[in-house]
A and B are shown apart, each in its own frame.
Chain A
Amino acid sequence: MKRVTMLTVIGLIWATGSLASDVMRMAVTTSFHNSGLAEVLLPELRKDLDLEVQLLVVGTGQALKLGEAGDVDAILVHSKTAEEAFVESGYGTHRRQIMYNDFVFIGPSTDPAGLSDMETAVQSLQNIAEAEATFVSRGDDSGTHKKELSLWEDANLDPGSFDRWYNAVGAGMGAALNTASAMDAYILSDRASWLNFGNKGDLALLFSGDPVLFNQYAFLPVNPARHDHVKADLTDKLEDWLTSDRAKELIDSHTIDGETLFVFNAQPAD
């Protein structure tokens, strides 16, 4: 009796496997995953192409590293300069724009640095620095982190010289938002992660809409010339699908609390 029970349990445990016929791996950024768009696109992909895309949810920096090492077949990230360097050094075949969303400034609802009256993102940062209001930085070399650093640079400020009000936590978007929520701090976040975040506490969206906060997502297939195990046929199929009218419809109609998150802007193939 005991043997039978044990064998049944072991059998049940082992009987978990993959379903679709084609499987490929793609590294995506936390912000893309947190938006919930993956849960919309992946089932449709499975239906349309019989393709299962396994997502590795990491920061842009790590996603690029995974692509360089050949551990994934494609990446979907948002940091233009890093992406162009990736293609230039031959790790990726090309860069294809898919869609964009935007970054927003989150902070305590009391707004000690007065962000809600600001005109530009640079002004907002200067105000935070002047007020020495607590600020949380991703500090993990992700796309959002790179964006934040370039904004500080535009504001002629150097985060390296900041006092203790500037906290680089070295964590993903969600973990950094958790920290900001606990510290009542300002933070730069992508809109999708913020809307989907479950622990908002006393935080509120204080500033958005400056064109410099525009956040372009691009698809980069890993170069099969460097890693011959890369599934180039599948990444081609995926790229065609991601830039198709079908994807456009799904991406543009994805909303959280009635707010549109992404705008599809892929150009048709030449």
Chain B
Amino acid sequence: MVELWDGLAQAFWLVVTADSELVEIALRSLQVTLTALLVACLIAMPLAALLAVSRFRLRRVVIATLNALMGLPPVVVGLIVYVILSRSGPLGVLALLFTPTAMIIAQVIIVVPLIASIAHQSLRDLWQEYHDLLISMNVTQTQKMQTLLWDARRALLTATLAGFGRAIGEVGAIMIVGGNIDNATRVLTTAIALETGKGEFALALALGFVLIALTLLVNLCIHWLGKTEREGRW
């Protein structure tokens, strides 16, 4: 219990004094996760819309697979990306292992199924409503997808935030592909794992509180930018 209070106090001082190391790893956490989130959204959103408006033979299989992949164990993703990016692996020449890029790749793989599944769920409901109207207007497949994506933007925000939550708190995969290198690939979660390993529970907890605060802050920012939860504009 004492550690909890020590952790809170340390977190407070780290933030108040703007500890340079903390700022660096916190910014790197954001850099990696936000980049991964952006890439993942660019893949997952169109995919979800496509799955909602088109009918093809393997559609159900694809949807079921996406849903199943939501539970993809990050450690396994990390290992697979590691083996592929290792110097002895197929993409070794790119020299990407132990770089933030490798961490971004792993996180994209982890969050795409999650975002796509949640987004698809809401787009499918909306598609039932819009189906007759859009068919009668004889619009193209792309226009259908655009309409759905734009009109479901609130629900898609939730999908994005879920993806952010999974990515920012992830440690198993990025520990393996990033290597937790000081000044290069250390982020908040891997730093927490490191400090726990040293038995420095208070500092580890402090970093944990900073991570939680950061997640909260980013979520608030996204809501603010998206103008949600305001009177008259739900």
- A2 contacts across to B, CB distance below 8 A: 225
- The minimal Cβ–Cβ distance linking A111 to chain B, given in whole angstroms, is 21
Cα-based distance from A57 to B181 in the complex (angstroms):
8
Cα-based distance from A12 to B30 in the complex (angstroms):
10
Given A2-B225, A70-B88, does the pair A54, B198 have CB atoms closer than 8 Å? no
- A227 contacts across to B, CB distance below 8 A: 87
A56 and B181 contact, CB distance less than 8 A: yes
Q: Nearest 3 pairs between A and B by C-beta? A: A199-B199, A174-B197, A70-B87
Is B18 on the interface with A (CB-CB < 8 A)? no
| CB within 8 Å of A: which B166-205 residues | 179-184, 194, 196-201
Cα-based distance from A123 to B92 in the complex (angstroms):
48
Is A269 on the interface with B (CB-CB < 8 A)? no
- The minimal Cβ–Cβ distance linking A60 to chain B, given in whole angstroms, is 16
B181 and A54 contact, CB distance less than 8 A: yes
Cα-based distance from A44 to B87 in the complex (angstroms):
29
Q: Which residues of A contact B (CB under 8 A)?
A: 2, 6, 10, 12-14, 16, 18-19, 25, 30, 34, 52, 54-57, 68-71, 172-175, 177-178, 181, 196-200, 227, 229
Task: Tell me which of A18, A52, A196 contacts B198 (CB under 8 A).
Answer: A196
Cα-based distance from A19 to B183 in the complex (angstroms):
9
- The minimal Cβ–Cβ distance linking B31 to chain A, given in whole angstroms, is 5
A197 and B198 contact, CB distance less than 8 A: yes
- A175 contacts across to B, CB distance below 8 A: 196-197
Pairs across A and B, CB under 8 Å, 14 listed: A6-B225, A12-B27, A14-B31, A18-B183, A54-B184, A56-B181, A70-B86, A70-B88, A71-B87, A178-B197, A181-B199, A198-B201, A200-B199, A227-B87
Looking at A34, A68, A71, A177, the one whose CB has the most chain B CB atoms below 10 A away is A71
Looking at B27, B184, B196, B225, the one whose CB has the most chain A CB atoms below 10 A away is B184
B181 and A69 contact, CB distance less than 8 A: no
**How many interface contacts (CB-CB < 8 Å) are there between A and B?**
76
Nearest-CB residue, chain B, relative to A68: B88
Cα-based distance from A19 to B199 in the complex (angstroms):
30
- B162 contacts across to A, CB distance below 8 A: none
What per-residue 1/0 map shows which CB atoms of B67-95 lie under 8 Å from chain A?
A: 00000000000000000001111001001
- The minimal Cβ–Cβ distance linking A158 to chain B, given in whole angstroms, is 29
B180 and A57 contact, CB distance less than 8 A: yes
A199 and B201 contact, CB distance less than 8 A: yes
Is B28 on the interface with A (CB-CB < 8 A)? yes
Nearest-CB residue, chain B, relative to A230: B87
Is B50 on the interface with A (CB-CB < 8 A)? no
Task: Tell me which of A12, A172, A199, A229 contacts B87 (CB under 8 A).
Answer: A229
Nearest-CB residue, chain A, relative to B100: A16
Task: Tell me which of B24, B89, B180 contacts A16 (CB under 8 A).
Answer: B24
Cα-based distance from A35 to B60 in the complex (angstroms):
55
A16 and B181 contact, CB distance less than 8 A: no
Is B97 on the interface with A (CB-CB < 8 A)? yes
- B197 contacts across to A, CB distance below 8 A: 30, 172-175, 178
A16 and B28 contact, CB distance less than 8 A: yes
- A6 contacts across to B, CB distance below 8 A: 225
Cα-based distance from A55 to B181 in the complex (angstroms):
6
Is B98 on the interface with A (CB-CB < 8 A)? yes
A174 and B198 contact, CB distance less than 8 A: yes
Given A174-B196, A178-B196, A197-B199, does the pair A229, B183 have CB atoms closer than 8 Å? no
A18 and B184 contact, CB distance less than 8 A: yes
B87 and A178 contact, CB distance less than 8 A: no
- B184 contacts across to A, CB distance below 8 A: 18, 54
Is B39 on the interface with A (CB-CB < 8 A)? no
Contacts A12-B27, A175-B196, A175-B197 known; 10 new A-B pairs at CB < 8 A = A10-B34, A25-B98, A25-B181, A54-B184, A55-B182, A57-B194, A174-B197, A199-B200, A227-B87, A229-B87
Cα-based distance from A178 to B197 in the complex (angstroms):
7
What per-residue 1/0 map shows which CB atoms of B28-41 lie under 8 Å from chain A?
A: 10110010000000
- A55 contacts across to B, CB distance below 8 A: 181-182
- The minimal Cβ–Cβ distance linking A15 to chain B, given in whole angstroms, is 8
Given A71-B97, A199-B201, does the pair A54, B196 have CB atoms closer than 8 Å? no
- A52 contacts across to B, CB distance below 8 A: 183
- The minimal Cβ–Cβ distance linking A51 to chain B, given in whole angstroms, is 13
Nearest-CB residue, chain B, relative to A222: B87
